[in-house]
Structure 1
């Protein structure tokens, strides 16, 4: 199997149900994957850029795992991208160290699939938010793979029921299985 690197961009994974379960299930399915939990490794958002770049260079498949925040990635993952994917390393005439590698964005939304439609609360389909990710991949010479995402992954302690939690966990298990299936096909 190709070398898999999963970057968790959740800003507080310990408080997560869906993303935490996806990562734990993915670890079981793909134990050889390197998993980097940015919130634990860099609680101050000060990244070891060289270590992050080295991990990326060693990988064949790069997965960004995150909750969809304001139709994009959370600030932690965005800052990581800004600091690590610099000119001369990830893009530019003097460097495309990631060229030819596969990029998979794997994310969760709190809203239901129905809400991601024209005229509904989110007003756009999820795929219409892919453009910045696709362009990032293009600029860096990465092969953008079909994203893996799951809707209705909201669980709020004290407001959501135990049944709601179980449903989120079940969707997370399914998400991890779909992510692993994609990795196996690459």
Structure 2
């Protein structure tokens, strides 16, 4: 886990109805920030009535067995620390995607991975069509009211990053 980053963790109200709690616990994740100020600004209630964020420590990360591919990016595209935070998170998500792909290509969806960026869920899939593998990216906001222009920009950022990472014709390309 990179350091010295700052973390926030979701807390779930114990009195929440079980179905609501199950959906929320699958949606909200630990978040990572570059500064304590950024983290503190995002702590507090969420759009879900039974979830709030509180500061977390590295001990919380270890105790909850949280890996880099289980952490959400706490800041949105356009934030000065977005690239700093997203680089290791994107790399970990892509490693997980490739790790989950079957050794032999088959038609259809091979694997998928999810990332939370500014409390919006982005899904990256690996889909096979004949000899070609495509990587469609989708966004879904379950509870939070996301700015559509930021969501669209983040989708574009993820697609460009995927091209730079997976294209065999760009072996020495580096993301900006």
- Smaller-chain TM-score range? 0.3 to 0.5
Name the structure where strand makes up a greater proportion of residues: 2
Greater relative contact order (Cα < 8 A, sep 6+): 1
